[in-house]
Structure 1
Amino acid sequence: MTKSFPVLLASLLAVSSVSAPLQVLAQEAQPLDRIAAVVDEDVILQSELQRAIANIKAQYAGREAQLPPDDVLSRQVLERLVLVKLQVARAQGSGIRVSDQELTQAMNAIAQQNGSTLDVLRQRLAGDGIDFNDFRASVRDEITVQRLRQSFAQSRISVSEGEVDAALKQQADAGNQFHLAHILVALPDGATAEQIATGQKKADGVKALLDKGELDFNAAAVRYSDSPNALEGGDLGWRTLDEIPAAFAQTMQQMKPGEVVGPIRGPSGFQLLKLVEVRDASAAAGTHTVTEYHGRHILVRVDDAQSDAAAKAKIDTLRARIAGGADFQQVAKESSEDTNSKGQGGDLGWFPADAFGPAFGQQVAGIQDGGVSQPFRTDAGWHIVQRVGTRQTDVGSDNQRAQIRETIGRRKLEDEYNRFLQELRGEAYVSFRSGDRAENTATPPQS
């Protein structure tokens, strides 16, 4: 049994595509023939736009006041769809493909994250008027964009041992970490004096609204920020002092949680930065221990040769045999369909809870040593798991360095990929359609 990326992917896709009540999506996703935008040689239909807007509104249910006016929200969401189209086209031009088998695995994972099977999800979508093929296409696009990011990271992002050493020293020096959020008023490359003045005026206006208390920071980010994380309230997560732009770093140490600085001119435009909270870096680093489990499992696969119902019936029978006194290891050797562990009686060795995906981790964590779970579903099929033992393990300096390297790489990727998206957007032909009017633009519009 191996780690499966669709399980991890499903959590993201469930938020972006399925977490909204399906009835809400159906009400707002009636197919329309009008074109919302032309993106190079592709188009975005009005129905695609309305579905995406419905997703955002469903995520903000009960917090609708934080969303911008409908026309501004529509433009923000349309820009996101434009970027998706451009990234998919670039990925395909680079030879990145998602096979039908991989797509089906991802779809199964999404269904599982929503507490159902793929057949049930298909029926729910059809019952609510959502085309299953359109849904599959959107999932394929999500996976394609993820792979483009991965390819980008592999070719352009590197983290030196010196950078890791510096981060470890900073952690050892027990400095503070800062949880930040930002609002970006973007400027195009080579901005004219008029564009700079307009950007400055907008940034000053947003800061004035915040100072007067007419809008909280998260709502202002949703309404006015040009950053890709605008609809997430501009959240930047935790940063150490050396990961904060020099223009803000010294000021940040004098600020109290809740305060906002800026606007300050940076490479991408004017920024407002909020200090959300502060914590001690050494305390945040923790003891670097994790809980590991020793477990065995039995897998009955769901695939073209075996339906979900047949697999479920088989695993129920095996679980009943074990409950009746049959030896778990012997049953695994005879009947498990995981070729990697079958010969060892289903033994998986020691592993952290998240090693095989969240569903597996929840099951093994929810039973006692020696206990056997009830049958449960993953993207691979139906399982039962026996927990043999638990232990606390020091992840050690190697794992600590790996974690820090990953954090630095993720931050670098965020910055570099955002610049790449700006270049991609700036080079594209995009024509927004509004009624009988068309607006051509080669750069993202300013709100």
Structure 2
Amino acid sequence: MNNAFAPVLAALLALSTAFVPGPAAAQATTPIDSIAAVVDEDVILRSELDRAVANITAQYASQPGQLPPRDVLERQVLDRLVLARLQLARARESGIRVSDGELAQAIESVASRNRMTQDQLRARLVQDGLSYEEFRDSLRDELLLERLRQRYVQSRVQVSEAEIDQLLAVREIGGPEVRLANIIVALPDGATAEDIATAQKKARDIKSVVERGEIDFAAAAIRFSDAPNALEGGNIGWRALDAIPPAFVGLIQQLKPGEISEPVRGPGGYQLIQLVETREQGTQTMTEYNAQGILIRATPTVPSETARQKAQALRDRIVAGEDFAAIAREHSEDTMSRNDGGDMGWFPVNAWGTSVGAQLTQLRDGEISQPFQSEVGWHVIKRLGTREQDVTEQNRRNQAREIIAQRKAEEEFERFLRQMRAEAFVESRLTKD
């Protein structure tokens, strides 16, 4: 697969690392040679697994040594296919759907992010050996999986102000951020002393190989890690120190960028953590605007042109010397600001909508806009002033909320996936091929 097409694949692979065609697409394009796994009443074909593995190996065509042995890679990819198939079945059972219109918007977004027209996108897919139908099916599946996660998490994750206060009291929110990667050497349930010693030695050996320069950390993760992010080179991404489990913070703070921790025993096995790089967070400010506004709504009984003419007449009266606030109180149809003489208060640029925000940025203080249209009607606004507002504390609370919500969401969804996997009938037939 052409590496230049990686951004398009990245858009597809928000939830998985391999391009995973849906079952219908796979059956339409490849013969049924054998069954790789049985998943409840469904099956994953050997051809589907081969296609997914081929996409992984194609992405690493210039660095094939970074991939694990074929049998290990097949097992990793099959595990993901199984989990994806179970989630898709649950999403459809739950009534989650992606309309053709929503899918068309997603495809347009993929094309736009890659600076392509849809025709160019089609041509690139053909060039890389992917049919447009497979692309559509895979993208629809990704959207279904994301909506399943959102629906499940939103119904179960709540963050209280008390939880935010508690986190802020014990952690320094808004401090340095670190980018991390990890490698996990898994231990089986009920691991024996011999299992533990073997896993610890393997983790130490991996660390030694990387530190000697024989292989980089990302390649080692791909080859040796048992973690779900193995095929991403063990990448964890940027994390604030306050978003990291307290047991690991001290360990990470002792590392310099590029350094790797000693093996750390966790619930699932031994873990190596690499500090990739660090960055500081500074004081955060936001430009806020103060304005007055008048809204004339366009309705089925008030055509848009009639509303525009009324807005224009009101503006003319203000420019001629009448008081903006008095006219707003009498004529504005914005119930949020009318009683205050159209006073919109201090607000971020797009708080009242992007149409209002676009006008504000073009006006000078004291200047009155020409009538302009939004989705609700016609507006006239007067920009009164701007200020730079320190939002560091507000953002700290928002960060704390996101940290707690993310932790809860990950815990809840991981629990959901484990339960779903445990309740499913899954039979791998890789050893029977």
**Which deviations, in whole Å up to 9, do the C-alpha atoms of 1:10-41 show, x marking residues without a partner?**
96327789999xxxxxxxx9724223332222
Trace 1:17-96 onto structure 2 (pairs within 5 A): 31-34=30-33, 35-60=35-60, 62-96=62-96
Looking at structure 1, the residues matched to 17 and 195 of structure 2 have their Cα atoms a distance apart, in angstroms, of 39
Alignment of 1:428 with 2:421, yes or no, is no
Alignment partner, residue 297 of structure 1: none
Deviations, residues 243-280 of structure 1 (Å, cap 9, x unaligned): 3334433333333222222322212222111222334x
Quote the RMSD (CA, aligned, Å). 4.3
Quote the Cα distance in structure 2 between the aligned partners of 1:190 and 1:267. Answer: 11
Q: Does 1:238 align with 2:235?
A: no
The equivalent residue for 1:113 is 113
- Where in structure 2 are the equivalents of 1:3-402 lying within 5 Å? 12-13=11-12, 31-34=30-33, 35-60=35-60, 62-118=62-118, 121-122=121-122, 125=125, 130-168=130-168, 176-191=176-191, 195-279=195-279, 283-289=280-286, 350-351=349-350, 394=389, 396=391, 397-398=393-394, 400-402=396-398
* Paired residues of 1:178 and 1:275 also in contact (CA < 8 A): yes
Uncovered stretches (5+) of structure 1, i.e. residues with no partner: 1-8, 21-28, 295-328, 331-348, 357-363, 371-388, 439-447
Given that 2:173 and 2:396 are in contact with CA atoms closer than 8 Å, whether structure 1 keeps it comes out as no
Q: Which residue does 1:336 correspond to in 2? A: none
The 3-state SS of whatever aligns with 2:401 is helix
Q: Which moved more, 1:123-132 or 1:141-150?
A: 123-132
Instruction: Output one character per residue of 1:279-305: Cα deviation in whole Å (capped at 9) or x when no partner.
Output: 4xxx4144243699x9xxxxxxxxxxx
The 3 A distance-change label for structure 1 pair 251 and 350 is closer
Name the CA distance, whole Å, in 1 between partners of 2:88 and 2:243: 31
TM-score normalized by structure 1?
0.61
Asked if 2 retains the 8 angstrom alpha-carbon contact of 1:30 and 1:47, the reply is: no
TM-score normalised over the length of structure 2: 0.63
**Paired residue total:** 337
Deviation at 1:241, TM superposition (A): 3.9
Equivalent-residue separation in structure 1 for 2:107 and 2:173 (angstroms): 46
Partner of 1:97: helix, strand, or coil?
Answer: coil
Larger Rg: 2
Between the aligned partners of 1:204 and 1:172, the Cα distance in structure 2 is 32
Match for residue 360 of structure 1? none
Task: Name the CA distance, whole Å, in 2 between partners of 1:63 and 1:394.
Answer: 49
Contact 1:288 1:400 in 2 (8 A): no
Deviation, 1:84, is 0.9
Q: Percent of pairs identical after alignment?
A: 51
2:408 maps to 412
Change (3 A) 1:427 1:220: farther
User: Structure 2, unaligned stretches of length 5 or more?
Assistant: 1-7, 20-27, 292-310, 313-347, 364-382
